[in-house]
Amino acid sequence: MILVLAIAAGWLSGLVRSWIVRKPYRVPELSRTWLVLVAVAPQLLIFQIPYTAGWFSDTWASAVLVISQLLLLGFVWFNRDLVGFRILGLGLILNLLVIILNGGLMPLAPETAQALYPEVSPSVWQIGSRPGMSKNILLLYEDTHLAFLSDSILLPAWFPWTRALSPGDLLIVLGVFWLLAVESPAKPNPQELSPG
């Protein structure tokens, strides 16, 4: 959900910036956008839709998550000329690194899970299990490889959607915001570049 907010904030900021510099707002032309659909569709089936999530084992869930991240990195590679995509790509790489080193899912410490869901008894959190339909695996912080890159950053209590983020997630959000707020209004019109 924070990604949706980044898109909205980036788009609105881009519109304001475009108005200030008196240039039409243009989203940069992106290459291989179909990779996003191919990467995200399986994630929706496994991690978002309760009816289909039960069809997949944790092994399949982790394989799909890793492959999905690789496909998104491919999309970033084809659009790497844009600074926003470089920032976004760094976030994806950090997430993929910690996911691969910890068995294919994003690590989440039991303490973080308890902070996210205080109404749930601590005895429910079983180390090594995947809570619900999430992309996470519960691991003790000290047993997690590169734990500082895991979902360990809690959003403030006033935030409408309580959830934990990784440093990679923050870079992804920043990259999306940058792309829509900074690069889009600055993209020149091809007619403006032609002589005459």
Give me the DSSP letters along 1-70: -HHHHHHHHHHHHHHHHHHHHT----PPP-S-THHHHHHHHHHIIIII-HHHHTTS-HHHHHHHHHHHHH
For residue 36, which of 90, 88, 97, 107 has the smallest C-alpha distance?
Answer: 88
pLDDT of residue 186: 56
Read off the pLDDT of residues 140-163 as tens digits, 9 standing for 90 and up: 999 999 999 999 999 887 777 768
159: DSSP letter: S
What are the tokens at 115? 């902070």
Residue 196, pLDDT above cutoff 50: no
Residue 69, pLDDT above cutoff 50: yes
As a whole number, mean pLDDT of residues 116-130 equals: 87
pLDDT of residue 157: 75
Higher model confidence: residue 106 or residue 52?
A: 106
Decide if 183 contacts 17 (C-beta within 8 A). Answer: no
**What percentage of the chain carries pLDDT values higher than 70?**
93
Read off the pLDDT of residues 171-184 as tens digits, 9 standing for 90 and up: 999 999 999 998 87
pLDDT of residue 23: 87
Pairwise CA distance, residues 43 & 70, whole Å = 13
User: Euclidean distance between the first and final Cα of the chain, in Å?
Assistant: 46
For residue 142, which of 106, 114, 110, 105 has the smallest C-alpha distance?
Answer: 110
Pairwise CA distance, residues 59 & 72, whole Å = 20
pLDDT of residue 193: 46
As a whole number, mean pLDDT of residues 4-20 equals: 92
How high is the mean pLDDT of the chain? 90
CA 50 to chain CA mean position, Å: 20
Residue 170, pLDDT above cutoff 80: yes
